[in-house]
Amino acid sequence: MRIDLHTHSNRSDGTDTPSELVRNAKQIAGLDVVALTDHDATVGWDEAQTAADQIGITLVRGIEISTHYDGHSVHLLGYEFDPHDPALTAELAKVRGGRDTRLPRMLERLADEGYEVSLEDVARHSVHAAASGRPHVADALVEKYPEKFPHRSAVFAGWLNDGGRAYVRRYSAPLVQAIGLLKAAGGLAVIAHPWSSSRSHGLTREVFEELVDAGLDGIEVDHADHTEDDKQRLRQIAADLDLVVTGSSDYHGQGKPQPPYGLGGHTTDEEQYRRLFDL
Q: Which residues bind ligand AMP (CB under 6 A)?
A: 13, 39, 133-135, 152-153, 156, 252, 255-256
Options 13, 38, 40, 222; binder of Zn ion; rule CB under 5 A = 13
To the nearest whole angstrom, how small is the minimum distance from the Cβ of residue 135 to ligand AMP?
Answer: 5
Instruction: Work out how close the CB of 136 gets to ligand AMP at its nearest, in angstroms, rounded to a whole number.
Output: 8
Judged by CB under 5 A, the number of residues near Zn ion is 1
Nearer CB in complex with ligand AMP: 113/162: 162
Residues that bind Fe ion (CB under 5 A): 64, 75, 192, 250
DSSP 65-120: EEEEETTEEEEEEEES--TT-HHHHHHHHHHHHHHHHHHHHHHHHHHHTT----HH
Q: Which residues, in sequence order, are CB contacts of 248 under 8 Å at separation 6+?
A: 4, 5, 6, 7, 35, 220, 222, 223, 266, 267, 268
* CA distances, 69 to each of 18, 27, 177, 191 (Å): 30, 38, 10, 12
CB of 157 to Fe ion, least distance (A): 18
Point out which span in 8-16, 82-90, 195-203, 221-229 binds Zn ion (CB under 5 A). Answer: 8-16
> Of 21 and 237, which CB lies nearer to ligand AMP in the complex structure?
21
Nearer to ligand AMP, 183 or 252 (CB): 252
Cα torsion through 68, 72, 75, 78, rounded to 10: -30
The tally of CA atoms less than 13 A away on the side-chain side of residue 104 is 2
Q: Give least dist CB 203 to Fe ion, A.
A: 13
Task: Name which of 230 and 250 has its Cβ closer to Zn ion.
Answer: 250
**Smallest distance, Å, CB 114 to Fe ion?**
30
Q: Which residue's CB is nearer to ligand AMP, number 134 or number 223? A: 134
- How crowded is residue 71: how many other Cβ atoms within 10 Å of its Cβ? 6
CB-CB neighbours of 12 under 10 Å: 29
Measured from the CB of residue 28, what is the shortest distance to ligand AMP in angstroms? Answer: 20
Applying CB under 5 A, does 220 fall inside the site for Zn ion?
no
